[in-house]
Amino acid sequence: MPLKLLGCAALVLAGTAVGFMKARSLSSRRRLLAAIGTLMQDLATRLRYQSEDIFTLVTLAAKSAGLSIKEDADRSQGFLAWWELQTESFAPSHVLHNSDKELLSSFGSQLGTTDLEGQLSHIELCRVMLSKQLSEAEEEQRQKGRLYRTLGVFGGVSAAIMLI
């Protein structure tokens, strides 16, 4: 009997944990998208006032947005390759949706390739697109977050009842 009770408790805990983890992944996406938005805004400001190269500016902007960046990453293959490497580092693929990854990739593809005005327009466009994704992520977190947590708890409880 005590073993059965222990098993039940384990099932409830496991179900709850899965539900909370799933809900947490939703909030991770929202937080990451918000941080990328901060990076874009910071980068636009730095482009206006600092005439450093794009590697330096993105590194500084990413740091100020709280994103982890590989400072010793190889720059010899060009900015795009460097950017792909950095996005792999601060934006793990399981957290982001495909549309987020496409946006990040398109953001990096134009950085450093045009004059200041072109850069600022490009960043603004990406920020608008990002804000849509961010709203979607917030909505998803609000709707599905509670659902996942509830499902996790009830799933665990149901499994425990079945065991009894």
Q: Is 87 near another protein (CB under 8 A)?
A: no
Question: Looking at 27-35, 53-61, 137-145, 154-162, which segment touches another protein (CB under 8 A)?
Answer: 53-61
Structure tokens at 9: 């408790």
* Residue 114 makes contact with another protein by CB under 8 A: yes
Angstrom distances, CA of residue 153 to CA of 5, 130, 140, 144, 159: 16, 33, 19, 14, 10
Identity of the residue, 79 or 154, whose beta carbon is nearer to another protein in the bound complex: 79
Check residue 113 and report its DSSP letter: S
In whole angstroms, how close is the CB of 133 to another protein at the nearest point? Answer: 26
User: Under a CB-based contact definition with an 8 Å cutoff, are residues 145 and 26 in contact?
Assistant: yes
Residue 60 touching another protein (CB under 8 A):
no
Q: Comparing C-alpha atoms, which of 26, 30, 11, 28 is closest to residue 152?
A: 11
Q: Which residue has the tokens 């059965």?
A: 4
Among the listed ranges 54-62, 66-74, 93-101, 148-156, the one in contact with another protein (CB under 8 A) is 54-62
User: What is the b/e burial string over 96-134, where b = at least 16 CB atoms within 10 angstroms of the residue's CB?
Assistant: beeebeebbeebbebbbeeeeeebbebbeebbebbeebb
Of the candidate residues 6, 53, 92, 125, the single one contacting another protein (CB under 8 A) = 53
Q: Distance between CA atoms of 10 and 65, rounded to whole angstroms?
A: 39
Instruction: Among 12, 36, 54, 153, indicate the residue that binds another protein (CB under 8 A).
Output: 54
**Residue 119 touches another protein, criterion: CB under 8 A:** yes
- Which range binds another protein by CB under 8 A, 7-15, 50-58, 123-131, 134-142? 50-58
Q: Which residues bind another protein (CB under 8 A)?
A: 47, 51-55, 57, 78-79, 112-116, 118-119
